Chains A and B, each alone.
Chain A
Amino acid sequence: MEFSSLLVPGLLAVTAVYALGRKVDVYGALTAGAGEGLRITVRILPALVGLLAAVYMFRASGAMDWFARLLSPALNALGIPPETAALMLVRPVSGSGALAVGSDLIKTCGPDSYLGRVAAVMLGSTETTFYTIAVYFGAAGITRTRYTVPAALTADLAGFAAAAFSVRLFFGS
């Protein structure tokens, strides 16, 4: 029995029992939260339509291969598969764009392939860096952000390399 096979049913049961013990309307909370999830899905649909159209065009034209080949020496040095180059370029700029590029990789390579897993881990372990920086500093009235952008991009790059490394570590390649 694997840890991950217990995760889904275990988490559902433990959460429900704990919450019921604290007199929370478990089912009401579940459906309210699920409604929020539906709103999230609907909100990303228009962006996904626009972006997946562009990603498919980009791939069909051969531009994606060209860019991957251009970046591959640098990426190979970091142990990152060059097929994920487009995902890495979009990830800090747009959350829905990264979701479009990443889900395309997961779909074409298969969710249980090395590349599919690396794309999934990259999506799961990084954030939309520039959006976050803009929101936080905008709200706080900061105009001189000093070294925040280079430090945050270092975190992204480390996350990408770590994604390729950790998938190799846990699943082999």
Chain B
Amino acid sequence: MAMAWVWTLMVVLSLVFGICTGRTEAVGTAALQGAEAAVELCFSMAGVICLWTGVMEIMSRCGLTEKLARCFRPLLRRLLPRASGDTETLAAVSANLSANLLGLGNAATPLGIRAARRMARGTEGIASDELCRLVVLNTASIQLLPTTVAGVRAACGCASPFDILPAVWLSSVLSVTAGLLMARLLGRLWRT
């Protein structure tokens, strides 16, 4: 529903601004151009996206996801000490993290939800500190290969769409760190 408001607001504001600046004609043409550009963009980035989702599928079928998941367990024991006491939650969270890293969003969400449901048991609808931390971890992107963005860049004629990777990794790490630090700080102030 939020998007219904955003879309309507954008269109109405465009009309109001268009009338004020006397560019109503340009606004009308722009709407049609935008729709056309969307189809062009989708078609030109489809190839890159398909290729990489294919590679990700190979990775998950040869057990790379599980291997990654095992690497995360020591880290998760420190980040979510109480939840890690339960082996099944720990397995779900680490699989959730490794699916996120590989960009398998469709696989990551059900795994994360399974972990969240187990962590929420007996809390009467109040999020525990560890559950907040898990959700913050999932709202920050930690994808190793941002394939959709690479697809967009390739569609715009970029010769090496993956050259932004070091910058993406650095900002992902900084973003996750800031989120977790803020969660820790607020967790101290915000007693239930």
Give the complex CA separation of A100 and B106 in angstroms. 21
The reply to whether the CB of B32 lies closer than 8 angstroms to some CB of chain A is yes
Interface residues of B in 144-192 (CB under 8 A from A): 145-146, 148-149, 152-153, 155-168, 170-172, 174-180, 182-183, 186-187, 190, 192
8 pairs from A and B in contact (CB 8 Å cutoff): A29-B54, A30-B54, A125-B172, A126-B175, A129-B139, A139-B113, A146-B186, A155-B136
* Contact residue among A22, A133, A139, A170 (Cβ-Cβ distance under 8 Å from B62): A22
The reply to whether the CB of B26 lies closer than 8 angstroms to some CB of chain A is yes
Contact at B2–A137, with CB atoms within 8 Å?
A: no
The reply to whether the CB of B71 lies closer than 8 angstroms to some CB of chain A is no
Contact at A167–B38, with CB atoms within 8 Å?
A: no
Contact at A55–B34, with CB atoms within 8 Å?
A: yes
The reply to whether the CB of B55 lies closer than 8 angstroms to some CB of chain A is yes
Residues in chain B within 8 A of chain A (CB atoms): 2-3, 6-7, 10-11, 13-18, 20-21, 23, 26-27, 29-35, 37-39, 41-42, 45-46, 49-59, 61-64, 106, 109, 112-113, 116-117, 119-120, 123, 125-127, 131-132, 134-136, 138-141, 143, 145-146, 148-149, 152-153, 155-168, 170-172, 174-180, 182-183, 186-187, 190, 192
Residues in chain A within 8 A of chain B (CB atoms): 2, 4-5, 7-8, 11-12, 15-16, 18-19, 22, 24, 26, 29-38, 40-41, 44-45, 48-63, 66, 90, 93-94, 97, 99-100, 102-104, 106-107, 110-112, 116-117, 120-127, 129-130, 132-133, 135-137, 139-148, 150-152, 154-159, 162-163, 165-167, 169-171
* Contact residue among A8, A32, A148, A155 (Cβ-Cβ distance under 8 Å from B57): A32
Beyond A57-B27, A139-B113, 15 extra complex contacts between A and B, CB < 8 Å: A2-B160, A34-B57, A48-B42, A54-B31, A55-B34, A60-B18, A61-B23, A111-B158, A117-B164, A124-B141, A146-B190, A147-B183, A148-B135, A151-B132, A162-B171
Interface centre among A12, A57, A66 (most CB of B within 10 A): A57
Contact at B149–A53, with CB atoms within 8 Å?
A: no
Contact at B34–A52, with CB atoms within 8 Å?
A: yes
Beyond A45-B42, A52-B38, A139-B117, is A162–B186 a contact (Cβ under 8 Å)? no
Contact at A141–B139, with CB atoms within 8 Å?
A: no
Give the complex CA separation of A144 and B135 in angstroms. 13
Complex contacts, B29 vs chain A, CB 8 Å: 60
Beyond A62-B17, A148-B135, is A135–B113 a contact (Cβ under 8 Å)? yes
Give 9 closest A-B pairs by Cβ, nearest first: A33-B57, A155-B179, A159-B175, A56-B34, A124-B146, A158-B178, A37-B53, A111-B158, A60-B30
Complex contacts, B2 vs chain A, CB 8 Å: 93-94, 130
Give the complex CA separation of A131 and B185 in angstroms. 24
Contact at B125–A38, with CB atoms within 8 Å?
A: no
Complex contacts, A19 vs chain B, CB 8 Å: 58-59, 61-62
